[in-house]
Amino acid sequence: MVPRASLPPSFGLLTFQPLKRRHCAECRRGPLPLLVLGDGASRCLDCADLGHLVFLPRGDTALTRRSREESGLSAVVVRFNRRKGRYERQGVLVEEAALARAEQRCLADAEARRRRRVRDARRRAAQDELFAQAFAAEIRRLFPGCPAARARDIAAHASERGSGRVGRSAAGRALTEGAVTAAVVASVRHLDTPYDRLLMSGVPRHEARRRIAPLVRTVLRGWAEAGLGSAG
Ligand SMILES: [Zn+2]
């Protein structure tokens, strides 16, 4: 009844989900959802001394591997796929206590992964915060007249993770004068000039930038010179 030639060699102890109605050769129960082959006969799990095992369907590879590791006795459940002409793994039979221990190990792993993610996120946030502080300090060094709160806003905006903004670029991370100035210019453009309104009214970007350039220069000069004389 079982085309043995098509059995994969490495499955170990096998049980079969029969395609036809089968009864146990020993206790005559049936039809059997699962059977074990031996000595030319098919037996139910109880008669084959596997009745105490529980079925774990395929799908969770880590849980399956660990359940088999934890289980003194285990068997692979296969079913013959007629169309493909081969047996396919449906799951495993393992000891219930082994399955429970394996589930515990998988849960512990998931919890460990979750904690690591939280730690990583905290570390990244701390790095971002340090970087934003350094960025803000550099803004204030180059532009002493820039209000402190504004410098913090610019730095935070420029260094937002995943933003691809100047603060996240290599130059920004190195806090070059060019990168810091670029972030300040971008902020001034949007907040201290009619740049956004010009864009909204359909003025092309380059033309809008040309029109507001003198105003940007004035604001920047004022902020840069504030440290030398009048407060900004
Ligand atoms: Zn039986």
Q: Does residue 120 lie within any of the structural domains?
A: no
The pLDDT > 70 percentage for the chain reads 88
Q: Give the three-state DSSP class for 37.
A: strand
Q: Give the end-to-end CA distance of the chain in Å, rounded to a whole number.
A: 92
**153 and 216 co-located in one domain:** yes
Identify whether 118 is part of a domain.
Answer: no
**Measured in angstroms, how far is the CA atom of residue 25 from the centroid of ligand 1?**
7
In a domain, 115, yes or no: no
**Are the C-beta atoms of 221 and 142 separated by less than 8 Å?**
no
Domain that holds residue 151: 143-227
Is residue 86 located within the same domain as residue 151? no
In a domain, 137, yes or no: no
151 and 159 Cβ atoms separated by less than 8 Å:
no
Token pair 């490495």 is at which residue?
10
- Average pLDDT on 94-103 reads 97
Per-residue model confidence as pLDDT tens digits over 134-162? 999 999 999 999 999 999 999 998 887 66
Q: Which residues, other chains included, contact 145 with Cβ-Cβ below 8 Å and sequence gap of 6+?
A: 222, 223, 224, 225, 226, 227, 231, 232
Name the strand (E) or helix (H) holding 193.
none
113 located within any domain? no
- Where do we find the tokens 């300090």? 137
- Which of the pair, 176 or 174, is modelled with greater confidence? 176
Asked whether residue 232 is assigned to any structural domain, the reply reads: no
Inter-CA distances, 142 with 61, 84, 106, 165, 227, Å: 57, 72, 53, 19, 9
Give me ligand 1 centre to Cα 23, in Å.
8
192 CA from centroid of ligand 1 (Å) = 86
Whether 82 contacts 6, CB under 8 Å? no
- pTM of the full structure: 0.57
- The structural domain count of the chain equals 2
Q: Is the pLDDT of residue 230 over 60?
A: no
What's the pLDDT tens digit per position in 12-52? 789 999 999 999 999 999 899 999 998 889 999 999 999 99
Q: Which residue shows structure tokens 């934890």?
A: 70
Q: Looking at residue 82, what DSSP letter applies? A: T
User: b/e per residue, 65-77, with b = 16+ CB within 10 A?
Assistant: ebbbebbeebbbb
Check whether residue 12 and residue 90 sit in a common domain. Answer: yes
Instruction: Answer yes or no: is pLDDT of 2 > 70.
Output: no
If you measure from the C-alpha of residue 43 to the centroid of ligand 1, how many angstroms do you get, rounded to a whole number?
5
Does a structural domain hold residue 125?
no
pLDDT, tens digit, 9 for 90 and up, residues 185-200:
999 999 999 999 999 9
Cα of 17 vs centre of ligand 1, distance in Å, is 15
* Assigned domain for 138 exists: no
Cα 72 to middle of ligand 1, angstroms: 22
State the distance from the centre of ligand 1 to the C-alpha of 24, rounded, in angstroms. Answer: 5
Residues 147, 101 within the same domain: no
Contact indicator for 173, 135 with CB cutoff of 8 Å: no
| Confidence band, pLDDT 50/70/90 cuts, at residue 228 | low
Among the candidates 53, 77, 105, a domain finishes at 105
Q: How far is the CA of 100 from the centre of ligand 1 (A)?
A: 27
Model confidence pLDDT, tens digit, residues 41-93: 999 999 999 999 999 999 999 999 999 999 999 999 999 999 999 999 999 99
The domain boundary, picked from 79, 105, 131, lies at 105
Model confidence at 232, pLDDT cuts 50, 70, 90, reads: very low
Please state, in angstroms and rounded to a whole number, the distance separating the CA atoms of residues 83 and 183. Answer: 64
Asked if residue 78 and residue 14 are part of one domain, the reply reads yes
Q: Max Cα separation, the chain?
A: 103
